[in-house]
Amino acid sequence: MATTAQFRTCPDTGFRIHLAADKLIKWNAVTAVVFLLVGGLFGLLVALTRWPAVHLLPADLFYLALTAHGLDVLLVWIIFFEIAVLYFACSILLNSRLAAPKVAWLAYWLMLVGAVMTNIAVLRGDSSVMFTSYVPMQAAPDFYLGIILFAVGALFACFVFFGTLVIAKQEKTYEGSVPLVTFGALTAAIIAVFTIAAGAIILVPTLFWSLGYISNIDTLMYKVVWWGMGHSSQQINVAAHIAVWYALAAILFGAKPLSEKVSRGAFLLYILFLQLASAHHLLVEPGLAAEYKIFNTSYALYLAVLASMIHGLTVPGSIEAAQRKKGLTKGLYEWLRKAPWSNPSFSGLALSIIMFGFLGGISGVMMGTEQLNLITHNTTYVPGHFHATVVTGTTLAFMALAYWLVPVLWQRELVLPGLAKWQPYLFGIGMGLVSLFLMGAGTLGVPRRHWDMAFSDAAITHDFPAAAFLMMGLNGVAALIATLGGVIFILNMVGTILWGKKKEAAPAPQAAPEPQPAAAAGAYGGAGTMAVPGTFVLALVFLAAFVLYYFVNWKYLASVWGLS
Amino acid sequence: MAEQEPGATGTTGPAAGSGGQGEEPIPFMQQVLDSPFLLLFIGVTMPTVFYILWGVINITSIPLAN
Ligand SMILES: [Cu+2]
């Protein structure tokens, strides 16, 4: 296997970049962004339809748009970008060539063909079964086939990742343990393998059912196995975006994790327990035992939540430690005040951490509790929760990374640096409000996936309080703000790639405070300090909010459920 | 916080065989964390057993209506 892998040295970061990996990372990332645009615009159509005063689309198109939105952003955008992150973490960070670039290209094309095939099926209008595609609703065969091809492609990409770990070790391109960012990416890849296997196990028979070769698929069986994919795929995101958090902290500040041991232990908790939380989608299914539900969504999940809280503490903690080392030691928060808030990579990271924790994390634990789940099951609270995790958490973190990665890989300057400063705030706060309004309306009982909350042509109706209508309207306004932020991001990325000014040789990375801190992302070793008082105070604020919100919901449950 | 941080001061991991002056054995947990395929096995087995198999057993043990 005498390979003549070709490398270039990145003038900004000093990374040695395998040219084949470089190209693959670029294509996967660009494709991801294109699907973010398509899926995001479908999302806007959904929000505008659920805005009672606008009620944009007729029912059939609403469900079409909802299906396309879910698929394109939840699956296609995120997984394409994750593949780019995996290749980055295993090849660039490990100084290694990428294993089997041809397989990686096969993976890319399978994913692309699959994604396009499923999109065509949806746009044709005969497969508006929504992202979950619950049987006995039936989509056209190419809908399922497209997802299967996409999943097989993603699986091949995971093999390339694992293969690269093997050759990097064999060829001794790094010493000791892999960097923490790579370890986080490994966690994501492991979860991805289970996700894809679960998807194949259920979607292959469903495809045959759609073709008429199988007469019946048990609905509950479908739900159990499907959520092995549907939920776990969102846990790939969590693991990947937390790896991105660590990477950004290192890139922006040269930050080292407070403790390698603790952070890796937290990722191990993800590997062990995170995927079991899939059962929270089944909390109201009568066919499953309470032990099954409670073990998976409470006992096991809490260990995964513990891991998230560890990451939520240690990423800002590592930034605080790095900033204090540079002399920003005044009071609790000089390090935070003097952080580069106008650098979109930093503001995106900061908003991602805050909103993932406060909005996504707390609401997730609440909903994952079997009893409390009854308050919000199948209401807009659910999309409210996962827009906080997947959009303000994952998507915002990926955007923050892209602001650094795209100029570095393409060696071009951002075309709209002024707008880029505002973009994470527009997008992040817009989506944060979307989450809050959806959760608010959900708490008032507004059902998710419903075309018309006014029930104007329904036989059985229900009057929601005026506040619920108001919140769905505000949700529409917030979605417009977020869309503006999303469009600015995409314009900036596509514009930079196509027309960005070529960088001169060896310029300093624009907004980063130090010349080459990016190398810290590829290094091993903790910060060697726990003296991060500001972060600990923030953590206590978080815990107080958590406890309070949890308690309020038990109180609320007691009042909605009149037993006396 | 009296715990020892491996690699807290150095730039390479403690597992680096070359150049380290100590013959310190690699701790068990670190060996686990350095084995991607062991982790892959654990990460696939756990949810397969506790989530999928247990769930399927639950469903198949529902009595059929006559
Ligand atoms: Cu879930």
pLDDT tens digits for range A335-345:
999 999 999 99
- Contact list in B for residue A189 (CB cut-off 8 A) is 40
Phi-psi region of A506 (alpha: psi -120 to 50; beta: other; left: phi over 0): left
Question: Between A169 and A564, whose confidence is greater?
Answer: A169
Contacts 24+ apart (CB under 8 A), B46-49: B46/A271, B46/A272, B46/A273, B46/A275, B46/A276, B47/A194, B47/A228, B47/A232, B47/A275, B47/A276, B47/A278, B48/A194
pLDDT at A505: 57
Is B59 near chain A, with CB under 8 Å? yes
Is A338 near chain B, with CB under 8 Å? no
pLDDT band at A562 (very low <50, low <70, confident <90, very high): low
CA of A289: how far to CAs of A293, A296, B56, in Å? 6, 11, 11
pLDDT at B24: 80
How many whole angstroms separate alpha carbon A89 and alpha carbon A397?
A: 15
Minimal CA separation from A527 to chain B, in Å: 6
Is pLDDT above 90 for A5?
no
The answer to whether the CB atoms of B59 and A224 lie below 8 A apart is yes
pLDDT tens digits for range A508-542:
444 443 445 566 777 777 766 777 888 899 999 99
Q: What is the pTM of this model?
A: 0.90
- Mean pLDDT calculated for residue range A234-246: 93
User: The complex's ipTM?
Assistant: 0.90
The answer to whether the CB atoms of B59 and A279 lie below 8 A apart is no
- Contact list in A for residue B13 (CB cut-off 8 A) is 175-177, 524-525
Indicate the helix (H) or strand (E) that contains A209.
Answer: helix A180-211
- Mean pLDDT calculated for residue range B10-37: 68
CA dihedral defined by A433, A434, A439, A444, rounded to 10 degrees?
A: 100
Is pLDDT above 60 for A260?
yes
Residues A182, A183, A185, CA angle at the centre, nearest 5°? 60
Minimal CA separation from A485 to chain B, in Å: 36
Is pLDDT above 80 for B15?
no
How many whole angstroms separate alpha carbon A195 and alpha carbon A233?
A: 6
Name the residue of chain A whose CA is nearest to B47's CA. A276
pLDDT tens digits for range A19-77:
899 999 999 999 999 999 999 999 999 999 999 999 999 989 999 999 999 999 999 99
Is B56 near chain A, with CB under 8 Å? yes
Is B63 near chain A, with CB under 8 Å? no
Is A191 near chain B, with CB under 8 Å? yes
Question: Between A15 and A473, whose confidence is greater?
Answer: A473
Is B36 near chain A, with CB under 8 Å? yes
- Contact list in B for residue A225 (CB cut-off 8 A) is 52, 56
Number of Cβ pairs < 8 A linking chain A and chain B: 129
Is pLDDT above 70 for B16?
no
- Mean pLDDT calculated for residue range B41-59: 95
Closest partner residue to A275 (CB to CB) among B11, B47, B58 is: B47
pLDDT at A227: 94
At the top level of CATH, the class of A7-502+520-557 is: mainly alpha
- Mean pLDDT calculated for residue range A222-251: 93
Residues A521, A527, A528, CA angle at the centre, nearest 5°? 150
Domain chopping of chain A, boundaries: 7-502+520-557
Give A230 Cα–ligand 1 centroid separation in angstroms.
7
Q: Which residues are found with C-beta within 5 Å of the ion, ligand 1?
A: A 231
pLDDT tens digits for range A419-428:
999 999 999 9
pLDDT above 90 as % of chain A: 72
Secondary structure in 3-state letters for A143-201: HHHHHHHHHHHHHHHHHHHHHHHHHHHHCCCCCCCCCHHHHHHHHHHHHHHHHHHHHHH
Give A546 Cα–ligand 1 centroid separation in angstroms.
19
